[in-house]
Amino acid sequence: MQTQCDKLVVLVTKGIESELSSVAFTIANGGITAGLKVSVFLTSTGIDLVRKGGQRMTHVPPLDPLASLIESFQQRGGTIWACPPCVTSRGYNKEDLLDGVVIVGASAMHAEIKEGAATLSF
């Protein structure tokens, strides 16, 4: 028997240096448009996407600027999680990150997956 889940978890390991970060947030926003509850889990250089000012450094035409993609995602109810060791290893703390970003371990992502969330990785 197949069940339908309305959740999506997007794992992002790429930062401001990669167009994949813009692709990930474009797809995450699309998930919200499709009616999914979407969470983004940032690891590795992906943490730099939510460092205040960092997201302003990336724009991959014809996609919207990364800062706009992230702002839209948050305003529309998307959740952004940041890996604690990845935040710490970069010398950041909560005040260095965009408002609303939650520093939390992978257990938050695993809980969504256990409830049937689909996953995508970038």
Q: Span 26-32, mean pLDDT?
A: 97
Q: Span 93-106, mean pLDDT?
A: 97
| Structure-model confidence comparison of residues 78 and 16, the more confident one | 78
Identify any residues that bridge with 120 across adjacent strands, giving them in sequence order. 10
Task: State the CB neighbour count (10 A cutoff) for residue 114.
Answer: 8
pLDDT band at 98 (very low <50, low <70, confident <90, very high): very high
Buried b (16+ CB within 10 A) or exposed e, 33-46: eeebbbbbbbbebb
User: Model-level pTM greater than 0.85?
Assistant: yes
pLDDT band at 3 (very low <50, low <70, confident <90, very high): low
pLDDT band at 1 (very low <50, low <70, confident <90, very high): very low
Q: Is 16 a residue whose pLDDT tops 80? A: yes
Identify any residues that bridge with 11 across adjacent strands, giving them in sequence order. 41, 121
Q: Span 28-50, mean pLDDT?
A: 97
pLDDT tens, residue by residue, 40-67: 999 999 999 999 988 887 887 888 999 9
